[in-house]
Structure formats: structure tokens, C-alpha cells
Amino acid sequence: MTITYRLYRPSDAEQVNDLAHNVFNLAPFSAEVWQHMEEGEHVTVVAAEGDKIVGAIPFDLRDFLIRPGLSIRSAWAHMVCVDAEYRSRGIGSGMMKLARVQLAGEQLAGQHLPRICEAMFVYTGSEGTAPYTFYEKNGFVDLHYSRFFTLTNPKANAPLDVEVTPYDPARIGEENLYAAFQRAYQDYAGFPVHYPGYWQRAIESIIYIEIPTEFYIATLTQETELSGYAVFGFIRGHATLLELAAGPAEPGLIDKLLQAVIAAAAARGVEMVNMLACTHHPAASALLELGFQPDRRANAEVVAGVVLEFDRLWMKLTHANPPFGLEILTPSRTLKLPGLGKPITLEMKESTLQRLFLCREDLPAALETERITSPTLDLPLEALQTIFQPAPWVFHWLEWI
């Protein structure tokens, strides 16, 4: 029989749930949980042979910061499920092809998204092996790398002014968490837009149903203000730091929060504490000073993505007022983006194009090393640099779907 591709229907809940269990050996959750998830900001593409669901890719829909002050609507692939008997037949790629059309807002079978997604992303890892290679084949480009920093046999004295309690966002106050997070990460991007209510939603996400986690938080409060916090969880016998926020005006606060987490882990008797961090993460140097060992890049967790709507993203990058038209040539496409006067021409590889539009490419450096070239000799470099200004990205494990 022919494989057909379509959007999820409520009647698919039990089959899709069973497929996910069988493919990934997940902790049990019900078809009702999956259906509740579908009623939120979520889209699932399925592959079917007749009435049998043989593949599924669920996507979470998010507003995502690509640089401070600039967010885009994005779709995040949760997992790629293909029945074992149907693998190596291009079914995963077929579902991705349909997802690209649907998430970009093109009407399909009488359905369309209420908000068009400008890009599609995934959390993946282990370059050169599956599932990384699947996403690479389907056009996803590496955007950000975080590696595990691991401390074995944790030992530390708990700072007296840091409180460790079971994690309850309502008790702490989502407004307080939001204010502390904004102070810590106002100059960073690479994460979903945060807002009061974000933290409760995060811990209720399906990943923590699949991977049951006992949540705690270390907090330091000065007078009535939450100066900083570290959300952490006990997962499968070890402790993982999920999100750490400490304002840059509070020297030593990151150390105190980390020590509090280490002491809590030691008291629990766990043998390992870990945290995902990139080179410029605010906690990177403190982790090393406390004895955490960084894993190698080959094992990094990677944020990979692909632009779905260049025209819409161009308008966002230029605040809906492009100072000039832009023609971009790659080996596989020609983009013609609107603007005033004669368009400027830039030439580059497809991967460079993707990174440029997602604020992950330093344009002057790319021109200097000829990763980007142009037949135009008098490029408006200052304007181009402003439009495509990159920003440091930071990944927080708490945001994992």
C-alpha cells in the first residue's frame, strides 16, 4: 500500500502514543496526555499506510529569540518515530517535507496554522551519527553547541544564605523568576521567549513525562528581591542543573548557587552532577573552577535549524523597513528580497545563508574569509552588519521539549 502523509487527528492518539513507546522505550504516559498536548501549541505530522500509523514527528511551536529583542515563530521537532518494519524507506524525510509546507503556512487539506513559522529547529547531537545525520540530510544546519560539564563524587558545603527547596514556581513567584532571568540573560539569545508562567509550563512539558524528574531550586534572596536561582533535578540517579540565572552585578553568586546544588546532590548520595553549557555561558568558568570536567565536542548537544520563510524573516530583521533589496545566490537557490533601489548581491553556501538569517554568522568575518562573496565592490557594510548582527546563544536544559 501507498504511504500517505498528513496532519495528526484526535483519533490517532492511541496509535501515535504506542508508536512513540515502541520506538523510544519511553516512560509510560497515556494517549490522553498526547491529546492534551495536541490541543496546545503543538503540531504532529504522521505517515500512514491505510489506517495504520507508521510514522510521526511532533513539533512544539514557540516564540524563539535569535538575538536580544528579536523573536521569531518557530517549530521544534520533538522526535522522529518510524515503525521498525518501515525504516529506510524515506518515511522520516517524507514527514519532514510535509512539515516544511504546513509549518510555513501553506494551506493543506483545508487546514493551516494560525501563525506561520519562520524557522524549524531541533535539539540533536553526536555529529556524524543518527539522528544527527537525519536532520543534516533534511537541511538542518548547526547553530549552537553545548557540552556537558560533569562533576563526579560531589562534595561541597552548602552556603548558608542559599535556600534549597522543592521546585514550585508559584511559591517563588513567576514574576520573580522572570525578573532574575532577564537580568542574567538580557544580552543573550538562543532560547524561547520567557514570560511569567513559562516555568510552570516548562516542567509540565512532555519531556518530563518521558523522563520523570524530581525538581528542586536553589535561591538567594536579598531583602525582597530574588537575586539568582538554579533549577535542578534528580534524574535517573544523578543531578542535572536545568537553568541557572544570576545577574552580572552579583559577583560570586553563580559559585554559591552551584555549591548549593553540589551540596544537595552530595546529601542525596548521588555520584554525579552535570550541566550543559557553552563556552560563553555565564557559568562556564565557575564550573571549571569547581572541578567540573567538560565533555568533548563530538558529544555536544546541538541546536540545529532551517529557515522556512526568508521573506518574513527579512522583514523582521529589517523591522519591516528594508533599506535596500537583497539578492542572495547559493548553489541551490536564488533569493530576491524586497527593498529600496537596486538590490545588493551576496553569494554563499546554503549553510552560511541559514546561519546568516538566524543571527549566527558574523558577516564581516564571513566576507573577509570569503565564506560570503559579492560582485558589488561598495557594499553597505554597516547596514548589513546591523541587519544580520549575531548574538551569543545560551541553551538551558529546562527548555528541552
What's the CATH number where 325 sits? Answer: 3.30.1050
In this structure, the answer to whether residues 109 and 70 fall within a common structural domain is yes
Residues of the chain with pLDDT under 70: 1, 26-30, 34-39, 106-115, 401
Residue 157 lies in a domain: yes
- What single string gives the DSSP state of each residue in 320-382? T--SS-EEEEETTEEEEE--SSSPEEEEE-HHHHHHHHTT-S-HHHHHHTTSEE-S-SS--HH
In this structure, the answer to whether residues 342 and 377 fall within a common structural domain is yes
User: For residue 33, which amino acid is it?
Assistant: V
CA 96 to chain CA mean position, Å? 18
pLDDT at 28: 59
Grid coordinates given for 285: 568558568
In this structure, the answer to whether residues 200 and 102 fall within a common structural domain is no
pLDDT at 394: 96
Residue-number span of the structural domain to which 378 is assigned: 309-387
Residue 127 lies in a domain: no
358: nearest Cα among 76, 135, 66, 72? 66
pLDDT at 391: 94
Residue 206 lies in a domain: yes
In this structure, the answer to whether residues 294 and 332 fall within a common structural domain is no
Output the CA–CA distances (angstroms, integers) from residue 52 to 2, 82, 97, 316, in the order listed: 11, 12, 20, 41
pLDDT at 193: 96
In this structure, the answer to whether residues 323 and 366 fall within a common structural domain is yes
CA 241 to chain CA mean position, Å? 16
What's the CATH number where 16 sits? Answer: 3.40.630.30
In this structure, the answer to whether residues 80 and 153 fall within a common structural domain is no
In this structure, the answer to whether residues 223 and 292 fall within a common structural domain is yes
In this structure, the answer to whether residues 21 and 68 fall within a common structural domain is yes
Question: What is the pTM assigned to this prediction?
Answer: 0.93
pLDDT at 108: 45
Q: How far apart are CA 242 and CA 395, in angstroms?
A: 10
β-pairing, 272-277 vs 293-294, is unpaired
Grid coordinates given for 89: 524507506
Grid coordinates given for 353: 545563508
In this structure, the answer to whether residues 286 and 349 fall within a common structural domain is no
pLDDT at 110: 46
β-pairing, 52-67 vs 81-82, is antiparallel
Residues shown for the chain: 401
pLDDT at 114: 55
Give the number of domains in the chain. Answer: 3
